[in-house]
């Protein structure tokens, strides 16, 4: 029996990990790049020129990377069961997204987190991003934010797949998952803010010359303020919601996931005649 | 068999509406652009209502306004209060306050407003786009290499109504057993049966797909080809990362970074294309490219080319920058203004159903 | 001519199954035959059908031995994908087999997968639309179709690849009689007009037996099935449609499979002359009474002036077409829905009269229990016993495992107490669901479509169960399409049409007055005294020896 839902071999799984890592790294560098290296001003207008094409540039880069990643995580190795399971999970995720929960939390992340934990990072990534796409198709949510959302939701599903698996202690496992869920709630918010951050913030003003270090800390401070005022409180609520959902429902739903993992995995034996 | 503009034409419309919002922050141009997008939105809405069905999956006015006000207000406040630069002095905050301390200027608020307008216009463009392209067509626009993802999503979309229905019937059934919703915990009797039922459905669905030749025509790749593809990908993403870093490290030589970036992206595109060709499948429904499509494509391409030419040759005509040494009030060039009115064009053309939906309502189908 | 399908010494067991479901199975089917596969649930029908296109063993895993061949191809060696152009497969619940939002897209799913050129695709789509009579539905959203329409779309989707064999696993078990009829008619036409080989497993034997060329009857798990012409096989099995059973009991030769064939024998029956057989029953006081209910849903009046009265201690059957308002009326009675106009009054044995529309649901369900359709779907615990405990807790009752076990024993499912409800069969799940409602000891029990998906044996068991509940003093209302079940078990019948109760009264009166809802033997004998096989056999002067 394999750990991953997908019947693909070990090589494919390693490769998926590398790919997730590389695209993730590219994403991180692309996001951080306006923070780390605000362009020096050479001529009037140069600074804002960059500031104003940043959203376009980042959006296109992200879209390309995402397309590529998704194309490679899916593909050849996928069986009908993986596809059907992901489709059904995507539908469930989309329905849960619109389910009202107390405190404005969302049950959306609950399934990708558990799916990633049980079936591995690849499956988790696909579960998260496809659920988000289905939800967007239903709510008219196609927009420049969508690639960011899909990426972030994908990672929310993929990261639990890297958690250590503790077979014995149910309670420890649950606490670990709940804590991860909380962090992932914050993580999602932080990534999502980035889609309109370049609109709100322009890195450099004429007359102020960029100095290494100062620029970075200043920018990071601004982002911190931005994050504090835009979504931190929502994110804490979301994270807490994830944690609570995982604590309350984690055990029975995990058991359900594992039960179906058994039913998806088997061997065909032919008796010798 | 299919009415209205080809989906590519609809994508072009999105470009005519969204690209200007990305290229300029001039509030006058943006206002004009927002207004023309609004004209298109209203025209589509009226047509849809006349057809008897509001567009499914369309964001409502209220949601849009809330979002726009929130994002807009935030952007204005954020820029206004954290950028301490300009001549029009409004007031002064104690310099001890981190980030907020310092002079508060009119220019900063103006620029915040410009940012907000650009953002809201962009959102409006996409909201309208959501209402002119039915989701099944949108799914069909996915590149061939995303065939599996498209299938997953299409299954998801098809499964949602059944899921909502079973959610309701499970809820009723639990009510009949004395279930009461008091705490979070009480979602459990709804969650677990719903998921179990969904997994059971997934198994049946997979069996049905398998029985209908699912995965029939994926050309198997040789181990070598797979290895090359992986290496190419690793190389390409490294190039992109290097390109980004290089652009930051040598800001005075932007060409270095850009060329790395472009090579990396080109490699990715090439790889995607190759992988798309591995999936052999055919399409049943095809939109026919008709004369109206050509007309619209030429119109849209005209605006896009003019904008790009302007961006390349006379960037100052688009840029808005209220801080000194520039004037705080935006410039206005009527010719650029005309380009901003493009998105309203399809709504004003005599053939108003240019963006009609193909989808028949159930009554028509009978 | 070599047979199209051949099984040779085929055995199979599921991965976690201890015993083989199929053992040493050998049989063959000729091209162009219409094959009915019958037998109780869980004896290997589904497994047998799935072996034809390689789903068994490739999809479910497990162990196999022996060989299968379909048109010279070996599904075990080739796998389901390769068999898809030869064998079309349709499952029982159409809701769970769709991958697209719209009918046409669903039809081309397989063709697009197999990269069939667009022009051929267009032609094939038009063909199957006509063959199944679903051309008007072509651009509809699948979610808006009725069950029968969905099933026909599923069949069409399996046919676009022009397979030589069509395999259907209980295609009508989730459908109402009219939709089921549509589907079966379509199958018959496919077989007759196109020469398509059809293998179908089906519980509605009376509808399929007349035109089946061959019957394969599974009697016991792992045993060699009976295989032959309908008349041959029917002579060897029990649990048959009433007409066939009567013919068998009376030794009619050749055994009639249809009403038409049976009519020939009716004059030879020496039944006593028609007298005033219907004894007028004295009306006991009502337990529940719905008075002039109106209810609106989605802009339609689902109930219009519906009135219903249930005398204490009776079992009433609520009948009517799909969409006649049966389920809505039941929900009104239990208080799940509240009427716009009219009222429902409940008269408990102890305590005062309850106005259902004005009482909170938790108080009502102490007295009135309702088992909804597809009851297996709401079980969520790990053990059957826990399900009962949950209901107990919901009702604020103290935990009482001994009482729960006693209840399970009473319902005949005590052996399942420690099992996971999701591992149970449909019939077992239904009983567990019933048990989880009955812990509150309601005086009135409402059942919505309790026979859906059940086979003859399970229905017999249900009748026995209902009778024993009734003996315990529980009054019952069940909404059902199952005419034979009503004839056997119900004391009274209410007919609904367009949201109105158009006729109600003792079963014999109502069922003989309405042609639509008359049981088979009543249609045959046209006599209000004879609704069921028992009625007829007990009325005969000399009881002939049963040949079995």
The pLDDT tens digits of the residues spanning C20-64 come to 889 899 999 999 999 999 988 878 888 999 999 999 888 888 888
The answer to whether residue C278 sits within a structural domain is no
Q: Which H/E stretch holds residue C227?
A: strand C226-228
The answer to whether residue C279 sits within a structural domain is no
The answer to whether residue C191 sits within a structural domain is yes
| Lowest-pLDDT range of B20-29, B37-46, B353-362, C124-133 | B353-362
Confidence of residue B134 (pLDDT cuts 50, 70, 90): confident
Same domain, B64 and B79: yes
Residues from chain C that touch B192, judged by Cβ atoms under 8 A, are 380
Query: Any chain A CB within 8 A of the CB of B85?
Result: yes
The answer to whether residue C277 sits within a structural domain is no
Q: Which H/E stretch holds residue C149?
A: helix C147-159
The answer to whether residue A44 sits within a structural domain is no
Interface of C with A (CB under 8 A): 11, 15, 57-58, 60-66, 76, 99, 380, 382, 422
State phi, psi for C5 to the nearest 5 degrees.
-120, 130
Residue A98 domain boundaries? 10-31+49-202+212-264
The predicted-structure confidence for C75-108, as pLDDT tens digits, reads as follows 988 888 889 889 999 988 887 889 888 899 899 9
Same domain, B266 and B298: no
Residues from chain B that touch C110, judged by Cβ atoms under 8 A, are 212-213
Per-residue DSSP letter, C544: P
The answer to whether residue B1 sits within a structural domain is no
Cα C343 from chain centre: 33
The predicted-structure confidence for C245-289, as pLDDT tens digits, reads as follows 898 888 888 888 888 889 988 888 877 765 544 555 556 788 999
Per-residue confidence (pLDDT) for residue A45, from 0 to 100: 44
Task: Enumerate the β-bridge partners of residue C65.
Answer: C11
Same domain, B133 and B150: no
Closest Cα of chain C to A145: distance in Å? 26
The answer to whether residue A38 sits within a structural domain is no
Same domain, C252 and C338: no
Contact criterion met (CB below 8 Å) for A211 and A77: no
Q: Are C61 and A266 an interchain contact pair (Cβ–Cβ within 8 Å)? A: yes
Per-residue confidence (pLDDT) for residue C280, from 0 to 100: 52
Same domain, C261 and C292: no
Whether omega for the bond prior to residue C254 falls within 30 degrees of 0, making it cis, is yes
A157 vs C540, higher pLDDT: A157
Same domain, C253 and C394: no
Contact criterion met (CB below 8 Å) for B275 and B146: no
Same domain, C159 and C253: no
Same domain, C46 and C154: yes
The predicted-structure confidence for A172-212, as pLDDT tens digits, reads as follows 888 999 999 999 999 998 888 877 777 776 655 544 444 44
The answer to whether residue B50 sits within a structural domain is yes
Identify the three-state secondary structure at position B316.
Answer: helix
Which residues are within 8 A (CB) of C227 and not within 5 positions of it... i.e. 6 or more apart? C27, C214, C215, C216, C217, C233
SS percent in chain A: helix, strand, coil, step 5: 75, 0, 25
Whether omega for the bond prior to residue B325 falls within 30 degrees of 0, making it cis, is yes
The answer to whether residue C276 sits within a structural domain is no
Distance CA A4, CA A161 (A): 9
Q: Are C109 and B212 an interchain contact pair (Cβ–Cβ within 8 Å)? A: yes
The answer to whether residue B2 sits within a structural domain is no
Distance CA A247, CA A239 (A): 12
Chains that touch A (3 or more CB pairs under 8 A): B, C
Residues from chain B that touch C423, judged by Cβ atoms under 8 A, are none
* Alpha-carbon torsion, ordered A49, A55, A60, A66, to 10 deg: 150
Report which of A144, A219, A165, A157 is spatially closest to residue A188, judged by C-alpha positions: A157
Q: Are C63 and A269 an interchain contact pair (Cβ–Cβ within 8 Å)? A: yes
Same domain, C511 and C400: yes
Residue C223 domain boundaries? 5-237
Same domain, B193 and B230: no
Same domain, C409 and C537: no
Q: Residue A132: which CATH number?
A: 1.10.1760.20
Query: Any chain A CB within 8 A of the CB of B237?
Result: yes
Per-residue confidence (pLDDT) for residue B35, from 0 to 100: 94
The per-residue DSSP string of C29-88 comes to E-TT-EEEEEE-TTSSHHHHHHHTTTHHHHTT-EEEEEEEEETTB-HHHH-HHHHTTTEE
Closest Cα of chain B to C70: distance in Å? 15
Per-residue confidence (pLDDT) for residue C344, from 0 to 100: 93
Residue B263 domain boundaries? 219-278
Per-residue confidence (pLDDT) for residue A42, from 0 to 100: 40
Which residues are within 8 A (CB) of A174 and not within 5 positions of it... i.e. 6 or more apart? A246, A247, A250, A251
The answer to whether residue B322 sits within a structural domain is yes
Residues from chain C that touch A87, judged by Cβ atoms under 8 A, are 99
Look up residue A20 and give its two tokens.
Answer: 């997730």
Same domain, C215 and C245: no
Distance CA A200, CA A196 (A): 7
Contact criterion met (CB below 8 Å) for C374 and B169: yes
Same domain, B274 and B341: no
Distance CA A181, CA A174 (A): 10
Q: Which of B67, B115, B237 to mutate to test the interface with A (most CBs of A within 10 A)?
A: B237
The answer to whether residue A269 sits within a structural domain is no
Q: Which of B3, B152, B176, B191 to mutate to test the interface with C (most CBs of C within 10 A)?
A: B176
**Is the confidence at residue B169, as pLDDT, over 70?**
yes
**Alpha-helical segments (H) within C335-383:** 361-364
Per-residue confidence (pLDDT) for residue A2, from 0 to 100: 32
Buried b (16+ CB within 10 A) or exposed e, A211-231: eeeebbebbeebbebbbeebb
Distance CA B352, CA B350 (A): 6
Contact criterion met (CB below 8 Å) for A246 and A174: yes
Closest Cα of chain A to B352: distance in Å? 22
Same domain, C225 and C243: no
ipTM of the complex: 0.87
Same domain, C229 and C247: no
The answer to whether residue B272 sits within a structural domain is yes
Task: Enumerate the β-bridge partners of residue C482.
Answer: none
Query: Nearest chain A Cα to B209, which residue?
Result: A80
Closest Cα of chain B to A26: distance in Å? 6
What total number of domains does chain B contain? 3
Query: Nearest chain C Cα to A270, which residue?
Result: C64
Look up residue B305 and give its two tokens.
Answer: 């080319």
Residues from chain C that touch A267, judged by Cβ atoms under 8 A, are 15, 61
* Alpha-carbon torsion, ordered B33, B35, B41, B44, to 10 deg: -100
The answer to whether residue A4 sits within a structural domain is no
The predicted-structure confidence for A58-108, as pLDDT tens digits, reads as follows 777 888 888 888 887 876 667 888 899 999 999 999 988 887 776 667 788
Distance CA B215, CA C376 (A): 33
Closest by Cβ to B148, choosing from A83, A208, A263:
A83
Give CA angle at C462 (C461, C467), nearest 5°. Answer: 100
Same domain, C319 and C217: no
Q: Are B202 and A81 an interchain contact pair (Cβ–Cβ within 8 Å)? A: yes
Residue finishing a domain among B211, B246, B267: B211
pLDDT average, residue stretch B306-335: 84
User: What are the CA-CA distances from residue B286 to residues B8, B152, B235, B282 (Å)?
Assistant: 12, 21, 37, 10
What total number of domains does chain C contain? 3
What rounded mean pLDDT belongs to chain A? 77
Q: Are C15 and A266 an interchain contact pair (Cβ–Cβ within 8 Å)? A: yes
Burial of C546 (0-12, 13-18, 19+ CB in 10 A): exposed
Please report the number of interchain residue pairs, chain B to chain C, with beta-carbon separation below 8 angstroms: 174
Same domain, B298 and B249: no
Q: How many residues does chain A have?
A: 273
pLDDT tens per residue across all 548 residues of chain C: 688 999 999 999 888 777 888 989 999 999 999 999 998 887 888 899 999 999 988 888 888 889 999 999 999 888 888 898 899 999 888 878 898 888 998 999 888 877 888 889 999 999 999 999 999 999 888 988 888 899 999 999 999 989 999 999 989 888 888 888 889 999 999 999 999 999 999 888 888 888 899 999 998 888 889 999 998 898 888 878 888 989 888 888 888 888 888 998 888 887 776 554 455 555 678 899 999 999 998 888 899 999 999 999 899 999 988 888 999 999 999 999 999 999 999 998 888 888 988 888 888 998 999 999 887 778 888 899 999 999 998 888 888 889 999 999 988 888 888 888 888 888 888 889 999 999 988 999 999 999 887 888 888 889 999 999 999 999 999 999 888 889 989 999 999 999 999 989 898 888 887 777 788 888 888 888 888 888 888 887 755 554 44
Contact criterion met (CB below 8 Å) for A86 and A130: yes
Task: Enumerate the β-bridge partners of residue C218.
Answer: C39
What total number of domains does chain A contain? 1
Distance CA C370, CA C378 (A): 13
The answer to whether residue A178 sits within a structural domain is yes
Which residues are within 8 A (CB) of C390 and not within 5 positions of it... i.e. 6 or more apart? B177, B189, C381, C436
The answer to whether residue C83 sits within a structural domain is yes
Residue finishing a domain among B211, B242, B257: B211
Residue finishing a domain among B154, B184, B211: B211
Look up residue C132 and give its two tokens.
Answer: 């199944």
Same domain, C187 and C295: no
């Amino acid at each position: 029996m394999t750990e991953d839902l997908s019947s693909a071999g070990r090589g494919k799984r390693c490769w998926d990990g590398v790919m997730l890592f590389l695209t993730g790294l590219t994403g991180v560098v692309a996001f951080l790049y306006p923070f780390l290296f605000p362009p020096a001003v050479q001529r009037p207008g140069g600074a804002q020129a960059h500031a104003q094409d940043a959203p376009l540039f980042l959006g296109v880069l992200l879209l390309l990377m995402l397309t590529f990643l998704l194309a490679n995580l899916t593909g050849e190795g996928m069986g009908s069961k993986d596809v059907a399971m992901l489709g059904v999970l995507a539908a469930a995720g989309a329905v849960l997204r619109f389910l009202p929960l107390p405190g404005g939390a969302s049950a959306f992340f609950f399934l990708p987190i558990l799916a990633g934990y049980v079936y591995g990072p690849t499956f988790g990534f696909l579960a998260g991003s496809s659920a988000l796409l289905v939800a967007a198709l239903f709510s008219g949510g196609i927009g420049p934010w969508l690639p960011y959302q899909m990426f972030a939701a994908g990672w929310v599903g993929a990261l639990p797949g890297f958690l250590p698996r503790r077979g014995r202690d149910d309670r420890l496992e649950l606490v670990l998952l709940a804590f991860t869920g909380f962090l992932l709630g914050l993580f999602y918010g932080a990534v999502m803010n980035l889609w309109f951050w370049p609109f709100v913030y322009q890195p450099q003003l004429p007359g102020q010359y960029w100095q290494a270090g100062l620029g970075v800390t200043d920018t990071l401070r601004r982002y911190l303020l931005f994050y504090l005022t835009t979504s931190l409180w929502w994110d804490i609520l979301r994270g807490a919601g994830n944690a609570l959902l995982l604590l309350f429902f984690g055990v029975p739903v995990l058991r359900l996931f594992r039960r179906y993992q058994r039913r998806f995995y088997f061997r065909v034996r032919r008796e010798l005649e | 068999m299919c009415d209205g503009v080809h989906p590519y034409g609809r994508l072009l419309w999105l470009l005519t509406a969204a690209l200007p919002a990305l290229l300029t922050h001039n509030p006058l141009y943006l206002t004009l652009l927002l207004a023309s997008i609004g004209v298109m939105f209203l025209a589509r809405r009226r047509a849809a209502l006349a057809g008897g069905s509001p567009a499914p999956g369309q964001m409502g006015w209220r949601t849009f306004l809330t979002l726009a006000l929130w994002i807009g207000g935030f952007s204005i406040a954020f820029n206004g209060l954290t950028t301490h630069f300009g001549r029009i002095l409004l007031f002064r905050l104690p310099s001890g306050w981190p980030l907020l301390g310092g002079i508060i200027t009119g220019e900063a608020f103006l620029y915040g407003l410009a940012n907000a307008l650009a953002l809201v216009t962009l959102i409006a463009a996409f909201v309208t786009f959501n209402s002119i392209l039915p989701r099944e067509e949108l799914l069909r626009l996915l590149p061939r290499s995303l065939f599996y993802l498209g299938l997953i999503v299409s299954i998801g979309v098809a499964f949602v109504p059944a899921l909502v229905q079973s959610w309701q019937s499970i809820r009723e059934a639990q009510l009949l057993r004395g279930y009461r919703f008091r705490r979070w915990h009480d979602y459990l009797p709804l969650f677990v049966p719903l998921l179990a039922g969904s997994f059971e459905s997934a198994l049946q669905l997979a069996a049905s797909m398998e029985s209908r030749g699912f995965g029939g025509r994926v050309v198997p790749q040789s181990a070598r080809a797979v290895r090359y593809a992986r290496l190419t990908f690793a190389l390409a993403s490294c190039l992109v990362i290097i390109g980004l870093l290089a652009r930051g490290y040598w800001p005075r030589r932007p060409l270095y970074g850009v060329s790395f970036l472009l090579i990396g992206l080109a490699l990715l595109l090439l790889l995607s294309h190759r992988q798309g060709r591995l999936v052999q499948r055919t399409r049943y429904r095809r939109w026919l490219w008709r004369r109206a499509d050509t007309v619209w494509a030429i119109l849209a391409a005209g605006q896009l080319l003019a904008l790009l030419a302007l961006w390349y040759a006379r960037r100052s005509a688009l840029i808005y920058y209220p801080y000194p040494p520039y004037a705080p009030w935006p410039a206005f060039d009527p010719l650029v203004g005309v380009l901003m009115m493009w998105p309203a064009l399809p709504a004003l053309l005599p053939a108003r159903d240019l963006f009609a939906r193909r989808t028949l309502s159930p009554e028509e189908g009978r | 001519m070599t047979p199209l399908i051949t099984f040779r010494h085929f055995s199979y067991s599921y991965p976690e199954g201890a015993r083989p479901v199929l053992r040493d199975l050998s049989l063959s089917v000729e091209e162009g035959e219409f094959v009915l596969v019958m037998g109780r649930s869980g004896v290997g029908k589904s497994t047998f059908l799935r072996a034809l296109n390689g789903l068994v063993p490739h999809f479910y895993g497990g162990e196999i031995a022996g060989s299968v061949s379909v048109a010279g191809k070996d599904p075990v060696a080739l796998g389901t994908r390769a068999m898809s152009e030869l064998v079309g497969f349709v499952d029982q619940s159409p809701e769970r087999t769709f991958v697209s939002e719209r009918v046409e897209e669903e039809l081309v799913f397989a063709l697009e997968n197999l990269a069939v050129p667009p022009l051929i695709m267009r032609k094939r789509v038009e063909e199957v639309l006509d063959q199944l009579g679903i051309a008007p539905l072509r651009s509809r959203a699948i979610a808006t179709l009725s069950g029968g329409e969905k099933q026909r779309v599923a069949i069409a989707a399996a046919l676009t690849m022009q397979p030589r064999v069509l395999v259907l696993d209980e295609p009508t078990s989730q459908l109402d009689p009219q939709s089921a009829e549509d589907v079966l008619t379509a199958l018959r036409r496919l077989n007759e007009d196109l020469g398509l080989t059809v293998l179908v497993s089906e519980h509605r034997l009376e509808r399929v037996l007349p035109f089946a060329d061959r019957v394969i009857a599974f009697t016991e798990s792992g045993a060699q099935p009976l295989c032959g012409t309908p008349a041959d096989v029917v002579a060897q099995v029990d649990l048959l449609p009433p007409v066939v059973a009567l013919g068998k009991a009376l030794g009619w030769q050749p055994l009639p499979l249809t009403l038409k064939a049976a009519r020939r024998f009716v004059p030879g029956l020496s039944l006593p002359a028609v007298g005033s057989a219907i004894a007028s029953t004295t009306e006991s006081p009502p337990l529940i009474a719905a008075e002039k209910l109106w209810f609106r849903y989605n802009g339609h009046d689902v109930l219009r002036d519906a009135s219903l009265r249930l005398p204490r201690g009776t079992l009433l059957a609520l009948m009517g077409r799909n969409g006649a308002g049966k389920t809505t009326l039941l929900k009104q009675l239990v208080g799940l829905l509240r009427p716009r106009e009219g009222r429902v009054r409940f008269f408990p044995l102890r305590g005062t009269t309850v106005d259902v529309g004005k009482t909170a649901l938790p108080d009502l369900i102490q007295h009135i229990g309702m088992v909804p359709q597809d009851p297996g779907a709401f079980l969520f615990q790990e053990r059957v016993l826990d399900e009962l405990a949950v209901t107990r807790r919901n009702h604020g009752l103290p935990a009482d495992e001994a009482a729960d076990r006693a209840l399970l024993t009473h319902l005949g499912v005590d052996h399942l107490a420690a099992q996971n409800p999701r591992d149970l069969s449909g019939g077992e799940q239904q009983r567990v669901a019933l048990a989880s409602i009955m812990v509150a000891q309601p005086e009135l029990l409402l059942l919505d479509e309790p026979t859906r998906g059940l086979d003859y044996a399970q229905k017999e068991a249900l009748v026995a169960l209902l009778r024993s509940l009734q003996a315990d003093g529980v009054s019952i209302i069940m909404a059902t399409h199952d005419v034979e079940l009503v004839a056997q078990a119900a004391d009274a019948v209410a007919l609904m049409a367009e949201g109105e109760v158009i006729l109600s009264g003792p079963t014999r009166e109502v069922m003989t007055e309405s042609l639509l809802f008359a049981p088979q033997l009543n249609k045959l004998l046209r006599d209000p005294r004879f609704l069921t096989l028992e009625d007829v056999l007990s009325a005969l002067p000399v009881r002939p020896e049963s040949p079995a």
